[in-house]
């Protein structure tokens, strides 16, 4: 797989209050990805991540586990427009 890929990942389960956003930021940046991550009002976490397709795929797999303390019950991935900004992962306010 080559080229760039941009996805929206919505993670459900015990994913708020366990450091999931900070973990996502750290793992994504370590993989050379960029985008945004935030808690959602429904209790899920939403990440919009972009970068090399292979790294995005690895990030999706990492999100299935999450940080220690998280329990992922569902993970939905959809192709999405590339997030604004091209450096790092920004943690956004809950929406």
Q: Where are the domains of the chain?
A: 4-80
Q: Which of 12, 38, 39, 71 is catalytic?
A: 39
CATH, domain range 4-80: 3.30.70.100
Q: Which of 14, 21, 38, 48 is catalytic?
A: 21
Indicate the pLDDT class of residue 1, thresholds 50, 70 and 90.
Answer: very low
Q: What was the pLDDT predicted at 2?
A: 63
12 counts as catalytic: no
Question: Over pLDDT 70: what percentage of the chain?
Answer: 96
Q: Is this prediction's pTM over 0.85?
A: yes
40 counts as catalytic: no
Distance CA 36, CA 47 (A): 6
Kind and range of the H or E run holding 12: strand 4-14
What is the DSSP pairing of strand 34-39 with strand 89-91?
parallel
Over residues 17-38, mean pLDDT: 97
Per-position DSSP letters for 59-84, written without gaps between them? HHHHHTT-STT-EEEEEEEEE-PPPS
List 85's β-bridge partners, or say none: none
pLDDT tens per residue across span 42-51: 999 999 999 9
pLDDT tens per residue across span 64-89: 999 999 999 999 999 999 887 668 99
């Amino acid at each position: 797989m080559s080229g760039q890929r941009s996805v929206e990942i919505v993670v459900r389960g015990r994913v708020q209050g366990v450091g999931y956003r900070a973990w996502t930021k750290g793992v994504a940046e370590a993989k050379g990805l960029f985008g945004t991550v935030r808690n959602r009002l429904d209790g899920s976490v939403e990440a919009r991540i972009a970068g090399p397709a292979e790294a995005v795929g690895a990030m999706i797999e990492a999100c299935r586990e999450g940080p220690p303390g998280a329990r992922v019950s569902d993970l939905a991935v959809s192709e999405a427009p590339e997030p604004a900004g091209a450096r790092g992962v920004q943690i956004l306010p809950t929406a």
